[in-house]
Structure 1
Amino acid sequence: MRTAAIVLHPFLKADYAVLISWIDSPRVLLEFAGPHFTYPLTAAQLDLNVSDTRRHPFMAVDSHTGEKVGYAECYFLDQSTVKVARVFIAARYRGMGNGTALLQSLLQFACTQCNAKRVVLNVFEHNKAAMTCYTKLGFVMQPNVFKRVDFEGETWRSVGMMLPLKSPE
């Protein structure tokens, strides 16, 4: 079995339809973006999102096949902190290591392009696959960072995670 490898490509207007096609329900949208967007996801929402100059959105492309397999963003909270947000692997590409490979590419971007000292993210507690991926990469829970979102009679809790980055030697 080959190792997943992801290349980050800038997210362009031409990519909107691909991302929108992956987000096929209000539940999937909330899991992907938290309450940042409303269903159905639209080009106008994406235009507004990418217009934020602190946000760097990417299409995740499989380096072996050239296929678009996911989406993610790096968001500059301040000069030393990057927030990884809206991480999404399309359903048919899950379970193949693409999430881990995408995060590794985002961490490399945060280190080399942003000179970040730490990376933070939020994840819903019920998303065990994502939490396992993040923990495997060294992220640790931030016990006092959490939010609650109500969805269809359920309360979803998101928790904060953080990864300190090593300074270049």
Structure 2
Amino acid sequence: MELTTFTEKDFDQLIGWINSPELNYLWGGPSYKFPLTRRQITRHCRQREVSPFLFQVNGENIGFVELYRISPQHYRICRVFISDDYRGQGLSKQMLMLLSDKARTEFGCLLLSLAVFGHNQIARRSYESLGFKVTAIEKGTRSYGGEMWDLVRMEKWLTESYSV
């Protein structure tokens, strides 16, 4: 298991994974419009604050995750995704453990934060199991398909390392 740098040669695979308007919004929030395009990905990933990664297991790309620099020691985890064939196996947790280690050791991160939609209980439980704590709940601040979605903000201080 490893995280590798996401590059232009990987764009088509990501586009294939994000295959519905709802999944696009769950994954990318308002930053991306469906259908996902190479142009949107290029524009987003060119931002200096964005560090995108692919998650590989046995040499196969199975997930995507991003670090977004808030300040020199604070990064936000964004756009967490595990491909359909690998969901339900605890691999997102493994990916996030690798990302936490990378954030701390390679980026000098002390504080990791993230936001998750309130109804995404599976993701929220996964983040909580990794030590993330809820810091705020923004009620009805996002909308999709005529529904208002809560946004749960979470964070974790990186004072320990993980072994995968």
SS at match of 1:108: helix
Task: List structure 1 segments (4+ residues) > 3 angstroms apart after TM superposition.
Answer: 144-147
Q: CA deviation at 1:146?
A: 6.3
Aligned residues: 161
> Residue 161 of structure 1 aligns with which residue?
154
What is the TM-score normalised by the length of structure 1?
0.91
Q: 2:48 aligns to what?
A: 53
Secondary structure in structure 2 of the residue aligned to 1:96 = coil
Q: Is the 8 A contact 1:79 1:116 kept in 2?
A: yes
- Which digits, 9 at most, give the CA deviation of each residue in 1:32-75, with x for residues without a partner? 0111100000000000011011110001111xx21111101001
Tell me the secondary structure at the aligned position of residue 9 of structure 2.
Answer: helix
Counterpart amino acid of 2:122?
A
SS in 1 for 2:107: coil
Would you say 1:92 and 2:80 are equivalent positions? Answer: no
* SS of residue matched to 1:44: helix
* Partner of residue 8 from structure 2, selected from 3, 6, 13: 13
In structure 2, give the amino acid aligned to 1:158. L
For 1:142, which of 114, 129, 135 is the aligned residue? Answer: 135
Q: Which runs of 5+ in 1 are unaligned?
A: 1-5
Give the % identical residues: 31
Determine helix, strand or coil for the equivalent of 2:70: strand
SS of equivalent to 1:48:
helix
Check whether the contact 2:136–2:153 (CA below 8 A) recurs between aligned residues. yes
